[in-house]
Amino acid sequence: MNIYQVIQQLIDLEISLGYIEQEDEIYVRNKILDLLGINDFVLEESVQGNKEIPDLLEELVDYACKQEVIEDLFDEKEILASKIMDCFLPNPSIVNKTFYEKFEINPEGATDYFYELSKNSNYIQTKRIEKNINYKAETEYGELDITINLSKPEKNPKDIIKEKSVKSTNYPKCLLCVENEGYAGRIGHPARSNHRMIRMNLLGEKWLLQYSPYVYYNEHCIVLSKDHRDMKISRQSFLRLVSFVEQFPHYFVGSNADLPIVGGSILSHDHYQGGRYEFAMAKAEDEYQFNLDKFPDIECAIVKWPMSVIRLRSKDKDVLVDAGDYILNCWREYSDPSVEIHAYTDKTPHNTITPIARKRNGLFELDLVLRNNRTSEEHPLGIFHPHEDVQHIKKENIGLIEVMGLAVLPARLKLELQEVEKYLLGNENNIADYHKQWGEQLKEKYKDQVSEENIQEVVKRETAAKFLRVLEDAGVFKRNDQGIDAFRQFIETLNR
């Protein structure tokens, strides 16, 4: 196809999807021609095709690079692609109006509309996400989700040099701020011309709903404060989470913890993550039920999960939040040196919670995952953090998504695990030094049991086993006799 045919096919596709009307065709075409530095339009023959939006967009961006309309740099290509897609999108006010018209009929219809818009605008990077390696692994705790994250493209040296030469600015303040909506982007800051947010009210405060550009699971959304402020786990956090699932009962929502090491990657902006997906932790059964004397109407249980999780259930969301806040305050002050738990070092706090809310079977549920971010000489990255012997697989912080049972593993593993497979088969290989000890352990474990036919499944299964160990490392009360007793002792203190 020539460039005119590519432009026309993209326009025709967006008309068929209902994002623009036939009357908008010439107007939108001229905007795209301007962005591509084209002064005419000669469509001798229209081409019918089955290419998807990301593929057509890629062709337009490649054309702009070849014609030197833009430099062949990652950020410049992203900026142009985002501007092209913005030609097809309504203003935020119209998106919000449509969303809430649908919401009045059915909240699911509203989120369906917004999710499709976010995909068809190429804000959600569907083509890149398809590159991720995804599989499930059966464990004693249910099926864990394993993802090797290949969706975020790596920048080349030219991109990095350019980024260093550009003067930094404090606008938008971070990647989550509302000011990203419609922001063209710059070298070093992602393009957001095609970004839209849904305005929402949580407890009288202004919050916003968007989807993650690189969704890790179905309808992976982000709920963020309009104000740029630090994350803080508090009673208000629990109230907001429960208020959100009351409005969107088909979604769960949760928060990263609010301390370094056990928190997520962006602690400088108050936000939550949610979506339409049931993780292994949500499916996990009650292991030990107990009562809270101060809250007799609340159902309470320790969850059968490698991390330390308390699950609360109630029809009354306010009482549920009160119980959650009570446990949070008790946990913040709790120490048990026998299992390495210290609430403070001098005045530095270590205890916090990763909370998750959902609505199920007519009840509100609040999961409280107990966290502690203390370090030691033996574990300088964190006592309740992936230990050194699993860091060859996962070294990064264990945030909300991992807590619930989805491993987001680094892209390097795609090739590295192939070398591990060769190593186990006795073939010529370039296994990384930090995988060798693991490789030797697997050789011993699978003596004469591996073959070309089963090697991939073996390595997948053992990679998942390492992630399970990661979760066990992050659990403050270990799942051994000492840890189980210590967890129950903490539960007993809640009734004193």
> pLDDT for 335-356, tens place per residue?
999 999 999 999 999 999 999 9
Structure tokens at 129: 């996400």
pLDDT band (50, 70, 90) for residue 116: very high
pLDDT tens-place string over residues 7-66: 999 999 999 999 999 999 999 999 999 999 999 999 877 777 789 999 999 999 999 999
User: By the 8 A CB rule, do 260 and 267 touch?
Assistant: yes
**Is there a single domain that holds both residue 324 and residue 350?**
yes
pLDDT at position 163 is 67
DSSP 453: T
- Supply the range of the domain harboring residue 342: 129-407+479-493
Do 274 and 293 fall within a single domain?
A: yes
Total-model pTM: 0.95
Pair (416, 470) in one structural domain: yes
The whole-number pLDDT of residue 157 equals: 65
pLDDT higher than threshold 90 for residue 165: no
Whole-angstrom distance, CA of residue 427 vs CA of residue 50: 42
Residue 488 tokens read as 């129950």
Average pLDDT, stretch 373-383? 96
Residue 154 binned pLDDT confidence (cut-offs 50, 70, 90): low
Say yes or no: 371 and 226 in one domain: yes
Q: Same domain for 288 and 434?
A: no
Tell me if residue 14 falls in helix, strand or coil: helix
As a whole-number percent, the residues of the chain with pLDDT over 90 amount to: 93
pLDDT category at 155 given cuts 50, 70, 90 is: low
Euclidean distance between CA atoms 408 and 411, whole angstroms: 9
Would residue 44 count as lying in a domain? yes
Number of domains present in the structure of the chain:
3
Q: Does one domain contain both 334 and 192?
A: yes
As a 3-state breakdown, the chain gives helix, strand, coil percent values, each rounded to 5, of 40, 20, 40
